[in-house]
Amino acid sequence: MHAGGKFGDGGYKVSGGLHGVGVSVVNALSQLLKAEVFRDGKSYSQEFIRGASQATVKETGPSTENGTRITFTPDHQIFPVIAFNRKTILDHARQQSYLTKGIIIRIIDRRSSEDLSIEENNLPTDFTFHFQGGIGAYVGHLVRNRHQLLPAPIYMAKQIEDSLIEVALTYVDDFNEHVFAFANNIHTTEGGTHLTGFRSAITRTITDYAKKSNGKDDSVLSGEDIREGLTAVVSVKLPEPEFEGQTKSKLGSPAMRGAVEAVVNQGLGQFLEENPSVARTIIEKVSLSARARLAAKAAREAVVRKGALEGMTLPGKLADCSEKDPSKSELYLVEGDSAGGSAKSGRDRRFQAILPLRGKILNVEKARLDRMLTNEEIRSLIVAIGIGIGEDKNIAKIRYHNIVIMTDADVDGAHIRTLLLTFFYRHFREIIESGYLYIATPPLFGIQYKKEFRYAHTEAERDQIVKEMTDKPSAHPPTIQRYKGLGEMNSEQLWETTLNPEHRVLQQVTIIDAEAADGIFADLMGEDVLPRKRFIQSKAASVRNLDV
């Protein structure tokens, strides 16, 4: 404990560390760790093997350098598989470069290309990050493939005692909020006091300006309206941060709320006064959002009223389960009536519900809530899930703790799955964060050899099964069937391969990197065609299965 530079003599002012155990943990998990220090014209080193020091610090000669070098090799006895992903490292280094204006970070990968994935081999092996624009440049990076409403991001910064508050923001022409908060360069995925202060300040400042510029009360504006299309980075650097939990996903330092609020109130207010044309663009954007929100509210209430008048609380095509405990209940979202029929016949009616979806649902990345609620398939899905929509959502009312997307193993099925993932990410992110969303992985192949029949989920598994089946010579080779649609399976096959909890393979949907997830949904499902074209071109070499 307390081995980090923040303890003792004040090695640095701000730190993300809480307990000073970072390098101690790396050392304990390393086969070899070597620390080298260069200072005062000399170099020093100390080596450790599996956490144990091999000797005291020794002087190793003269040096003109200044700094520290840490070299470590992960311990194979602890980690069966050791794989450093170049993209993950590059993404993290890029983020840190934006957050520390002017710093230079260089990444060099000397591994053999034979040990790397196709994606990694398409990335540079020697990369340098350096951003003089700091988080202003970061916001520009986040909106690089989107239609920007402002000529450049708005940047504000202020030193308050020992703390530095930086905020950069802009608006894009979409319906979602994209705000990323950091404390001492740590991405606080659950926000905290700094994010609360930012949201409070931007709502008050823009509402006050709208009221003043229009000469009337614009109290109809809500925080939700003002954050629609907002892209922002909030970065605070403070001594002795208080995080909620060791994962540091939420900042709890009370003083940061007022500090960020003060900086945004003053900085944004001054900017709006000095840039009336940009301010007018922002007011037009948030006013349009307010009108759309009121229209969506009316549409939502109409949907609820219509359901009540028709005497139905659940969609008619939903084949519900008899189990009423959400933690024991499953909802399968199935592509098409044919697969829906097989799934309804093959399921366990006690705890498995089936909702067939006809065709491709609306792309919600391009639609506001009011238009979304006019789509029959989406309305059925919302009602079946049970937690409401928009500002009325309540995750405690969810009807199923396992929601499984089950689509065909072809291009159309992948597209429908992507549309559903976009729907959940943009409007039901709580479901993903609670671990309730899954993707079914039905087998791709059925292999028949004499009286034996087996399934394979991948080509490699198919080849292995064929090899095992044909160990003994036979005049008749195995018959291999490639499944493209769930409807090709009868109800017994569907139960055996995809519905039966003892044999099925489910992939849980998680959000590991919110920034990357946000970007990929905007690129693939947004209005602009160019980002999609670039994505397809960059991934073309790695395509393995392509339906034609």
Residue type, 111: R
Q: Is the pLDDT of residue 53 over 60?
A: yes
What is the C-alpha separation between 489 and 342, in angstroms, rounded? 8
Q: Is 93 domain-assigned?
A: no
Element (H, E) at 171: strand 163-171
**Residue 282 shares a structural domain with residue 336:** no
Q: How confident is the model at residue 542 (pLDDT cuts 50, 70, 90)?
A: low
What is the C-alpha separation between 377 and 372, in angstroms, rounded? 10
Spell out the alpha helix ranges (H) of 215-254.
Answer: 223-227
Q: 245-281, pLDDT tens digit by residue?
A: 767 889 999 999 999 999 999 999 999 999 999 999 9
Secondary structure letter of residue 376 according to DSSP: H
Q: 285-328, pLDDT tens digit by residue?
A: 998 888 877 877 776 666 555 543 343 467 778 899 999 999 99
Cross-sheet strand order for the sheet of 445-449: 452-456, 445-449, 479-482
**Residue 277 shares a structural domain with residue 183:** yes
* Range of lowest pLDDT (107-116, 267-276, 416-425): 107-116
Residue type, 203: T
Q: Is 42 domain-assigned?
A: yes
**Residue 276 shares a structural domain with residue 321:** no
Q: How many Cβ atoms from other residues are within 10 Å of residue 55's Cβ?
A: 9
What is the C-alpha separation between 470 and 61, in angstroms, rounded? 66
What is the C-alpha separation between 428 and 421, in angstroms, rounded? 10
pLDDT at position 548 is 43
**Residue 349: strand, helix, or coil:** coil
What is the C-alpha separation between 315 and 299, in angstroms, rounded? 17
Q: Is 449 domain-assigned?
A: no
Q: What is the pTM of this model?
A: 0.66
**Residue 197 shares a structural domain with residue 147:** yes
pLDDT at position 422 is 86
What is the C-alpha separation between 281 and 292, in angstroms, rounded? 17
* Range of lowest pLDDT (329-333, 460-464, 530-534): 530-534
Which domain does 193 fall in, by range?
134-293
Is residue 286 within 8 Å of residue 218, measured between CB atoms?
Answer: no
Sign of CA dihedral 237, 241, 245, 246: positive
pLDDT at position 83 is 83
**Residue 248 shares a structural domain with residue 335:** no
The set of catalytic residues is 335, 408, 410, 412
Domain count along the chain: 3
In sequence order, what are the residues at sequence separation of 6 or more whose Cβ sits closer than 8 angstroms to the Cβ of residue 417?
405, 407, 439
Element (H, E) at 178: strand 178-183
Q: State the average pLDDT over residues 123-146.
A: 90
pLDDT at position 539 is 67
What is the C-alpha separation between 253 and 161, in angstroms, rounded? 15
Q: State the average pLDDT over residues 41-49.
A: 95
HSE value, Cβ hemisphere, 13 Å, CA-based, for 430: 13
Using alpha carbons, list the distances in angstroms from residue 55 to 52, 161, 239. Answer: 9, 43, 34
What is the C-alpha separation between 539 and 495, in angstroms, rounded? 35
* Closest to 505 (Cα-Cα) out of 448, 447, 461: 461
What is the C-alpha separation between 386 and 375, in angstroms, rounded? 17
Output the six-digit token pair for 214: 């229009």
**Residue 215 shares a structural domain with residue 347:** no
Q: Is 233 domain-assigned?
A: yes
Q: How confident is the model at residue 118 (pLDDT cuts 50, 70, 90)?
A: low
Which residue in the block uniquely carries the two structure tokens 């923001």? Answer: 169
Q: 337-394, pLDDT tens digit by residue?
A: 777 788 888 899 999 999 998 878 887 777 777 777 778 888 888 889 988 877 778 8
Q: Is 534 domain-assigned?
A: yes
Is residue 290 within 8 Å of residue 368, measured between CB atoms?
Answer: no
Rounded to 10 deg, the angle between the 514-525 and 134-142 helix axes is 40
**Residue 281 shares a structural domain with residue 347:** no
**Residue 218 shares a structural domain with residue 286:** yes
Q: Is the pLDDT of residue 45 over 90?
A: yes
**Residue 148 shares a structural domain with residue 271:** yes
Q: How confident is the model at residue 453 (pLDDT cuts 50, 70, 90)?
A: confident
* Range of lowest pLDDT (175-184, 251-260, 513-522): 513-522
The CATH number covering residue 12 comes to 3.30.565.10
How does the average pLDDT of the chain come out, rounded? 84
What backbone torsions phi and psi does residue 5 show, to the nearest 5 degrees?
Answer: -70, -15
What is the C-alpha separation between 389 and 224, in angstroms, rounded? 14
pLDDT at position 411 is 75
Top-confidence residue, 149 or 515: 149
Q: How confident is the model at residue 39 (pLDDT cuts 50, 70, 90)?
A: very high
Q: Is 258 domain-assigned?
A: yes
**Residue 221 shares a structural domain with residue 339:** no
Q: Is 469 domain-assigned?
A: no
**Residue 183 shares a structural domain with residue 238:** yes
* Range of lowest pLDDT (173-177, 394-398, 430-434): 173-177
Sign of CA dihedral 135, 104, 514, 19: negative
Cross-sheet strand order for the sheet of 402-406: 352-357, 330-335, 402-406, 437-440, 506-508
**Residue 341 shares a structural domain with residue 394:** yes
Using alpha carbons, list the distances in angstroms from residue 149 to 59, 143, 205, 465. Answer: 58, 10, 19, 56
Q: Is the pLDDT of residue 407 over 60?
A: yes
Q: Is the pLDDT of residue 152 over 90?
A: yes
Q: Is 366 domain-assigned?
A: yes
Output the six-digit token pair for 498: 């995809």
